[in-house]
Structure formats: C-alpha cells, structure tokens
Chains A and B, each alone.
Chain A
Amino acid sequence: MRGSLLEKLGTLVRTGVLGLWMLGVVLPMFWVLATSLKSTKEVTRSPFGIPDALAHPGAKTFAVIAENYSKAWVGSGFSAYFWNSLKVVSISLALILLLGSMAAYCLSRFEFRGRNAIYNAFVAGLLIPMQLILIPLFFQYADWSDVLTRGFAPIARVHGIAPQFARRHHPDLCCGKFTVYDFHVDIVLWDTAWRGSRSGDDRWRERSEDILQCDAAARKARAHHGGHFQLPRALE
C-alpha cells in the first residue's frame, strides 16, 4: 500500500518536472504566435497580454491579423522566398531519390571491380563539411555562371543557389569583386529580361540597356583601377 502511494507521488513529481520543461519550450513559441496577432500599438501597450483579436474577436481585430499576415506574406517577399525553397527542395529531392537509388541499386546488387572503391568514395564524402567546400563552390558557381546563364538560363535560375546567395547576402561582395560581380550582372540581366518578357512589359529592354552600360563602365574602370573599383550603389 505504501509502495503504491510512493509510486503515485513519484509519477506526480515526474510529470511536474516534465511539465515545467514543456512550458519552457512552448511558452516562447506561443508568445511569438500571440504577438503575430497584435498590432504594433498593442504590442507596445501589452506585450504579454492576450491579443485583442482573441479577447474581442470582430471585424476590426480580424483586420489587424489580416494586415500582419498579408504584410509578411507579400510585403516582405515571403511568398517569393517560399517558392524558392519549394523549387530547390522539390528538384533536389527528385534528383537525389532518382540518382541515389540508381547508384545504390548498382552498388548493392552487382559485384564488379572497383565497387568497394566507389562505395568508399561516396561514404568518405559524408565527412567533408559544408564549410570546407562552401568557398570553392562559390567561386566555382561564379566561374560557371557565364556559361550557365547564357546556355541554360532556366536551369541556372533554378539551381542558382550561389547566385541567389550572392545577391541576397553579399551585395558588397558582388560589387567589390569582379569575378563575382560579372556573374551578378548576368543574373540581374537575365532576371530582368525573363520577368519583362513574361509580363509583356517592354521596359525590360531599357533596364537591360542601363545595366549593360553600367557593366561596360565597370569593366572599363576595372581595367583602369586594376580591379579595385566600387560599383555605384544604384545597381543594387
């Protein structure tokens, strides 16, 4: 009898401890969720209160939620980024599944000379950290992008992880350094042309001209300054 009482007490304590940790994990996330339902004014007025939208649901409070989420979805370009992620994930997933299973089938079902060597080479690749290949890969993409953007533009666009990476995160790199800069112009140019031609808007020709002129000026300046030249910020 005493044993079962102790056991019950033990279970109670255990649940309590686990519950505390659960609160610690969940509360910050709920807080973010609640904040996303508040207007800026409400956030400063009561950062931790229950959102008005939940306390007094109605058309007015609903508008706040709609505004926040539409701002995030459209205004900050979230939908575009989401689409980007979707493209990268779906294409790489399909390729990985297809090519990976092909190679795995061959390596596991047949015996041939060099089988173990190939298998070991693949496994060894797991040890190579992303950090090690990140930098060379970046310059590799930069070197290839000329070919890629001209020859296989659509592929380059979808696979342009490095170009996107360059454009989003390293505007100063793109402008300061020409190896990278050259391909940056290509991407921008192609992007403008692509968007323009699709929307039926003819202004893309003008913009491309501008970019090309800037590009030519930059190339001239590069020859002149021995590579140390900053592109006008206007191009960003």
Chain B
Amino acid sequence: MSPKHLSRDTKRFLWIGILPSALLYALFVIWPAINALMYSFTRWDGLSTPVWIGIDNFVNLFKSGSDFVTAIGHNIYLTVVPGSIILTLALFFAWMIHLKVAGSTLFRVTFFFPNVIASVAVALLWVLLYSTTEMGPINNIRQALHMEKVPFLESARLLQSIVPMMVWSATGFYLVLFLAAMENIPVDYYEAAHLDGASPTLQFIRITLPLMWDVLTTGIIFLIVGGLKFFDAVWVMENGRPSPATHTMSSLMYAKVFEEYNVGYGTAIAVLLFVLVLIITRISMRLLKRERLEY
C-alpha cells in the first residue's frame, strides 16, 4: 500500500481515524506546553497582562541561595538515597524469590501491595505512623525501648523521614519488574554455569545482571525521573505549606503559581524541570548503555 494507491475513501478514513486524537493531543498537551514556554519568559500574576521580561526568571532561579537551588538539592537527595536503597533491596528480594521459596506468589503480591494505594494515602498513612501522639506506633516502640520521642515530621527531619516511606512503597514495584526479567533468562545458562562450578554469587554477577541489564536501566531511569518530579509526600506531610527547607522542585513550582500568583516564575521552574529530566535521563542512559546481550 504505497501512498499512490490510497483511494479517496481511504484518505477520508485516515482523516477520521487520526484527527480526533491529534486534535485533543494538540489542544491539551502541545498547546499548553507551548504556552508554558511562553509564560516562563514573562512576569505574570495570572490576571493582568503578562510582561515580557526575557530570561530574568531563569536568572533569578539560579541566584545563589534561591529556594530553587535548595530544592534541586532536595530532589537529588530524594533520588539518590531512596533510589539506591530501593534498587538494592528490590534486586536482593527478587533474587531470593527467584531462587525458589515457598509462597513466592504471596510475597510478590504483598510486596507489590503499597503500589495499589494512592500516593497521597501512603503519605497520610506514614503521617500516622510517625505521629508523636500516643497513637503513633513508631514513637510508641521507641518509648517502649526507653528512647526519646522523635518529631519525625518537623521540617528539618522531613526529607529523611520520607526515605523509609519511599522504600516501603516502591520496592515492591521494582521487585516485580526485576523478578520478571530474571525469570525470562533461560535455565540452560545456569545449568551450564553450575556444571562449570560457578557459585551462585558468580552466576548472579555474570549471568543474571548482564542479561537483565535493560530492565535494570529502565528501573534506574524510573527512579531518577520519579525523584526529580517528587511532589505528593512533601505536600501532604507539610499540610500543603512546605517551607524552603523541604520544598522540591515540583512543590516550589506549585507554591509559586498557586499561592504567590507568580506564574512566570513557576512555569520557568516547570520548563527547567522538563529540561533537567530530559538531560539527566539522556546522560544516565548513555552511562548505563552496554553492549546488548541476548539469549
């Protein structure tokens, strides 16, 4: 079916088929994205006429000591620390389940379960767990062990307190991802390695990891993107009023636009966030790239 052979009917069919999605897509994705770029070069309160100010917004974002620079630091923290723990634990548990245990389906389902809960609900659950009232389980356990109560949710501690929450809720997802990749590897390789006298550890490093490298890369990129866009828990745990000490890029953007009516500044953050995510994913993909192995 080369272009020449399209009849008029076919052409009409194509128009009807593609136009609705293309239109919706242009209206609700492309157009707002273009608008975002435009807003980011203006000073605008969302009401009056926007004033074109060139790259001033971006210059202000990177002034030393600006909230945005601090927020980037928080995002990096929330990417690297929970990310590495999640990755390690998920690989470790996936490998353990892969080595055959009784009740592996039970483990899979329960580990995955936190992913079914909305992220806001997860954050609220952890607010309860961290509570300093007599109801808060974690502080209760601490008291039973004769330790001081800790205000886990105060601004200075919040980012550290979010780490266990992220590990708790995300590990299951990556575990399921990695386990599926592990189970796709043909058994023959392990049998051959076993005959050659390779230890399980060696098998893991020389067979499992290289053959699931693609999936591992995907997992790492998910974690990076998720960390850079992090929003919900900070917002919920700070009751919708994060301070500069806890803001992430997303929450800062949101606060700038919807609380300070600084639309130009806020969209500048959004544009930078987009560019940052794009660049960092690109770089990490390049770094993680290996010769593709197939079985």
Contact = CB atoms under 8 A, between A and B. Distances in A.
Given A22-B110, A112-B6, A102 B17 contact: yes
Contact of A179 (B46, B168, B273): B46
A28 B123 CA distance: 12
A57 interface: no
B241 to A, nearest CB: 12
B79 interface: no
Nearest to B256: A135
A179 B135 CA distance: 44
A102 B20 contact: yes
A133 B6 contact: no
Interface string B18-39: 1011101100111111011001
B269 to A, nearest CB: 8
Nearest to A119: B18
Interface string A8-50: 0011001101100110111011011000000000011001100
Interface stretch (B59-67, B212-220, B258-266): B258-266
A39 to B, nearest CB: 14
Nearest to A178: B47
Nearest to B14: A106
Given A44-B134, A139-B35, 15 more contacts: A11-B100, A14-B99, A15-B102, A15-B103, A22-B111, A24-B168, A25-B114, A105-B17, A106-B17, A128-B33, A136-B31, A136-B267, A173-B258, A177-B45, A177-B47
Contacts of B48: 227
B22 A118 contact: yes
Interface string B129-143: 100001101001000
Contacts of B45: 177
A21 B266 CA distance: 40
Contacts of B247: none
Contacts of B81: none
Contact of A176 (B13, B107, B171, B261): B261
A155 interface: no
B253 A26 contact: no
A105 to B, nearest CB: 6
Residue in B30, B48, B106, B110 whose Cβ sees the most chain A Cβ within 10 Å: B110
Contacts of B22: 103, 118, 121
